[in-house]
A and B are shown apart, each in its own frame.
Chain A
Amino acid sequence: MTEFLQYTLQGLAAGGFYALAALGLAVIFGVLGVVNFSHGACYMLGAMVAALLLQHFDLGFWPALVIVPVIMFFFGVLVERLLVQWLLRLDPLYNFLLTFGLTLLTVDVMKRQFGVSSLKYQVPAGLEGRFTIGSVDLSVYQLFAAAFAVVICLAVWMILTKTRVGMIVRAATEDAERSRALGINVARWVTPVFGFGIALAGLAGVLAAPYRAINADMGSNFIIILFAIVVIGGLGSILGAVVAGFLVGLVEAYGQGYYGQLSQVLIFVLMAAVVLIRPAGLFGREEVA
């Protein structure tokens, strides 16, 4: 029982982080209809930028938590303005391939510039050590990362449900053409939303920096798990991404605890099962053809 509780706790902690990382992917797909393959690369850039801020400007974790998302927001705006916008009217395949190419480019540039070995990063002071509740424990940092991620997810949820901006984003997510016919300048929202999604990826990268290897390849495996999460949750569904994030965290932890090397396979078994039973994902809407 203790074991089970321990794994559950670790799964929830990992899940919070997954939810945050997948959130941006869901938001971008929702509003732009773009399957952003470069989300993993942007996560990597977030972590790399955090490490470089530390190395060159002595700016630690806390400033990075603010600075990196801002930098990544503008990076996203740049990518959307320079590249993504031109393909938005075409088959979504084009932007998928574009962001795939962008990923290869980004990863290679970072390799060329910084090599493939991991960059240095430390757990911020005050977040070291373990946190014990009864018979189970968790590293303080992991707990922090999960709590922080949940707060961000809630904040995004509040913005989407309680503000006019959020309402417009939801409407544009559901039907962009109709929103235009109702007088909403959807194009004006597309760029900031893309930037926002990329900023969330960067934020996840900063959160990962203290406990994951920081190198050009760190997003390559991660993007596959993120895709599994958004497919399980339902593409474009914000709530789906969050719920599926926790679900995947739990499945992974139980897998690690009870089935060892199958822990990642189980994630994809879950994905396959969800897709078979509910092709649109847990919270996805079936699109009207």
Chain B
Amino acid sequence: MRHTRMISLAAMVASSGLVLTACGSAGGGPASGGDSKLSDDKVVLGLLNDQSGVYKDLSGPNSKVAIEMAIADYKAKYGDDAVAKNIEIVMADHQNKPDIANTKAQEMYDRDKADIILDVPTSSAALAVATQAKAKKKLHINVGAATTALTGKSCNKYTFHWAYDTYMLANGTGTVLVGEGGKNWSIVYPDYAFGQDMTKSFTAAVEKGGGTVQQSIATPFPNDNFATFITKAESSKPDVIGIMAAGGDLVNFVKQYNQAGLQGKTTLAVGLMFITDIHTLGVEQFAGTTFTDAWYWNMDAESKAWADKFKEKTNTRPSFAHAGNYSAALQYLEAIQEAGTDGSDDVVAKLEGKKVNDVFLRNGEIRAGDHRVLHDAYLVKVKDKANVKEEWDYEEIIKTIPAAEAFNPTVSADCKM
């Protein structure tokens, strides 16, 4: 009898998890008020991201520091002439769950009077916030999420996609690596929306460059043991093995890949990887791995100088997401300055089509048609441990991909503003 009880218990426990995620709330309240140039006499920047989970290090609480740096730079630049004198930051943890992101976004826009929500990693969460932005007619500048749906069928007047997307990752790593001689690919991907999208994008990118994807191998998600998947991926003797997993699955894959003696033998291209992954797992595990980054702290003197300031405050080096949030907050405040108000429509009008250069955006342009921000991207290779000179000195830029080529050159037909 005990075993049947246990099974039903396990089922009960599993389903209780589902129930817990089913609560949301419908916040209400006035959207704006007053005759001042600023709603509520202040500008409220909402930072909504992962404060406790997998993207905590990538962005998390340190993005608040980056936004504070943007506010300080804005105030220093305009002084008494600043339109936004009273600037506040509100921050919340969305735990990478779309339902929580949805509730928190409503709270931020309605209760906290946020004029903009920044960051929002995890695609499903980002799409939920974009929907709220559209409904509340308040801004959302997305930095942390990868989905091209933000500038495709879910695009809207108030949502901007600032740092990167799956097209950029696939194009950068796929097309460019083929150009470097990596013609034949095996792709291993977790079988859920993210992995499937990445595989589709990568396959298109590899074929565009003239290469061939010999096999695409789907794996369960999450998954701990990749031994036989690796054997299979290797069996077609590819030049490049592409892995589209993220988080713990990526770590499992890379460890087992190295253990299979493949490190350095076959090029390993990672679909989505962040510098924080390299840092936590150790550069030796990822040495030789290739991926596309939106920004790297040590790529030039300007970035390095900003990274030094960031390190003074946080004792760590910034990821692209930290720099991206800095840039997004700064350009938002600049747009308020130009518009003379924080009214959403006026700010959007100033942002659309704007050409931008800052520490994060190089040759940047905010495309009016879909609010995709175009900028230079970077194909990087993880350094060998011997070449690492300091902590976080992990990336070697093998190619700068110009802004015009880094992102999808055409606005998606699905995007109706």
Contacts and interface: CB of A to CB of B under 8 A. Distances in A.
Interface of A: 3, 6-7, 10-11, 13-14, 29, 33, 35, 37, 92-93, 96, 100, 111, 115-120, 122-123, 128-130, 139, 141-142, 210-213, 215, 217-218, 221-222, 224-225, 227, 231, 234-235, 252-253, 256-257, 260-265, 275, 279-281, 284, 287, 289
B224 A263 contact: no
Given A10-B228, A130-B261, A115 B57 contact: yes
Interface string B235-252: 100000000000111011
Contacts of B219: 256, 260-261, 263
B16 to A, nearest CB: 10
A203 B196 CA distance: 36
A33 B259 contact: no
A263 B227 CA distance: 12
Contacts of B3: 231, 234-235, 275, 279-281, 284
Contact of B255 (A3, A96, A212): A212
A221 B252 CA distance: 13
Nearest to B10: A227
Contacts of A115: 56-57, 280
A120 B281 contact: yes
Contacts of B256: 139, 211-212
Interface in B213-228: 217-220, 222-228
B-side interface mostly: helix
A264 B9 contact: no
A263 B217 CA distance: 12
B96 to A, nearest CB: 10
Given A231-B7, A289-B1, A221 B260 contact: no
Contact of A139 (B1, B191, B260): B260
Nearest to A264: B220
Contacts of A118: 248, 251, 280-281
CB-CB nearest 6 A-B residue pairs = A213-B251, A256-B228, A117-B280, A261-B191, A261-B218, A213-B248
Nearest to A257: B228
Contacts of A231: 3, 6-7
Interface in B242-280: 247-249, 251-252, 255-256, 258-261, 276-277, 280
Contacts of A130: 260-261
A211 B251 CA distance: 9
Contacts of A224: 10
Given A14-B225, A225-B224, A260-B191, 20 more contacts: A7-B228, A14-B227, A35-B9, A92-B2, A96-B9, A117-B57, A117-B276, A118-B248, A120-B285, A211-B259, A213-B249, A222-B224, A234-B3, A252-B228, A256-B219, A256-B225, A263-B219, A275-B7, A287-B1, A287-B2
Contacts of A211: 252, 255-256, 259
B54 interface: yes
Contact of A122 (B220, B276, B284): B284
Nearest to A108: B52
A123 B259 contact: yes
A146 to B, nearest CB: 11
